[in-house]
Structure 1
Amino acid sequence: MSVHDELATVQRCLDDLVRSVGRLEKQLGGGGLEIRRVRSDTTHLRESLALLRETAVSAAGPAQRPDLVTISDAPYDPSLWVDTDDEGLGARDRHAP
């Protein structure tokens, strides 16, 4: 998986966690120290993931386009092909079995 895919997966899981903590908070009541700490931890996780996403995007930078290679239309020197076989046809001085 790419970094982008991994970050998206983590974001979905974190969103599920936030929803679950919200439901738990409604069931237990929002006044307890423990549930406030869990809520605070999920908030910190969201902030940390946002920072990580920014870092990953800036580290990857813009997509680099490879340098283009120009291929000339001029014919190649025939002497380059003197000692080569025709692909699929075998050598010129030999016969197929």
Structure 2
Amino acid sequence: MSVHDDLTTVQRCLDDLSRSVGRLEQQLGSGGLEMRRVRADADHLRESVALLRETASGPTAPPVPQKQQLLTIPDTPYDDSLWIDTDDEGLGARDRHAP
């Protein structure tokens, strides 16, 4: 059985469930906490199957990740002017002594 057939079967079952919940609401009333939870759960199932159907109708193969380009980092030293306003990590500022 294909995924489409399985989803169609599940959708039919959810339709039956929805009709049955509707009949129960008529008999028991829709104001009770239990009945509201059953209705909410049935609606949630319907939404989940709709999302699953959208996902299943999309591409079947996962997307192939694109090859990332490698960055070449030069071996030449950095320009010292880039580091004028920084502190040596863990050593404090250049013009002050540690306490």
Is this a same-fold pair by TM over 0.5?
Answer: yes
Q: TM-score, normalised by structure 1?
A: 0.61
How far has the Cα of 1:59 moved from its partner?
Answer: 3.1
User: SS state of the match for residue 9, structure 1?
Assistant: helix
Q: Distance in 1 between matches of 2:11 and 2:55?
A: 15
Aligned to 1:28: 28
Aligned to 1:43: 43
How far has the Cα of 1:47 moved from its partner?
Answer: 0.3
Map 1:1-97 to 2 at 5 A.
1-60=1-60
How far has the Cα of 1:41 moved from its partner?
Answer: 0.3
Q: Which amino acid is 2:18 matched to?
A: V
Q: Which amino acid is 1:35 matched to?
A: M
Unaligned runs of 5+ in 1: 62-97
Deviations 1:6-54 (A, max 9, x none): 0000000000000000000110011100000000000000000000000
Unaligned runs of 5+ in 2: 62-99
The RMSD of aligned alpha carbons is 1.2
Q: Distance in 1 between matches of 2:60 and 2:12?
A: 22
Q: TM-score, normalised by structure 2?
A: 0.59
More helix by share: 1
What stretches of structure 1 move > 4 A for 4+ residues in a row? none
How far has the Cα of 1:60 moved from its partner?
Answer: 3.1
